[in-house]
């Protein structure tokens, strides 16, 4: 089964998002963020918009595009299964926020 959160979209595919998609999508997005941050930092200074800000903004956008529909669904179409999946992602996101990232 394809995870609709991991497929590029213009508008969130709310009707396709299931609770079982939430944790894998957030985990993959966070792993991608960490890898990109490590790669950007490893290149060293001098930093510029192109080699620091742009790559970080792009991965932050991907994370936000994945988590925003999840958060929205948790608010408007809450179910025990969705709530459980959503709550599993909160510590993962909190760990990233300690690194200076926010979804």
The domain locations on the chain are: 19-97
Compute how many other C-beta atoms are within 10 angstroms of the C-beta atom of residue 22: 26
Looking at residue 45, its pLDDT comes to 83
pLDDT (average), residues 70-76: 97
Q: 88 with 22: CB under 8 angstroms?
A: yes
- Number of residues that make up the chain: 103
The answer, yes or no, to whether residue 57 has pLDDT greater than 80, is yes
- Predicted TM-score (pTM) of this structure: 0.87
Compute how many other C-beta atoms are within 10 angstroms of the C-beta atom of residue 103: 20
Looking at residue 23, its pLDDT comes to 98
Looking at residue 95, its pLDDT comes to 73
**What's the token pair of residue 40?**
């950007």
Q: 72 with 5: CB under 8 angstroms?
A: no
DSSP characters over 44-93: -SSP-IIIIIHHHHHHHHHHHHHHHHHHHHHHHS--HHHHHHHHHHHHHH
Compute how many other C-beta atoms are within 10 angstroms of the C-beta atom of residue 96: 19
Confidence of residue 41 (pLDDT cuts 50, 70, 90): confident
């Amino acid at each position: 089964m394809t995870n609709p959160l991991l497929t590029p979209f213009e508008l969130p595919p709310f009707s396709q998002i299931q609770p079982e998609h939430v944790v894998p999508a957030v985990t993959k997005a966070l792993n991608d963020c960490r890898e990109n941050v490590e790669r950007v930092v490893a290149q060293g200074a001098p930093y510029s918009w192109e080699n620091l800000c742009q790559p970080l903004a792009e991965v932050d956008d991907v994370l936000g595009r994945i988590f925003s529909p999840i958060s929205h669904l948790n608010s408007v179409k809450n179910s025990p299964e969705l709530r459980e999946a959503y709550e599993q992602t909160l510590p993962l996101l909190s760990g990233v926020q300690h690194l200076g990232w926010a979804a």
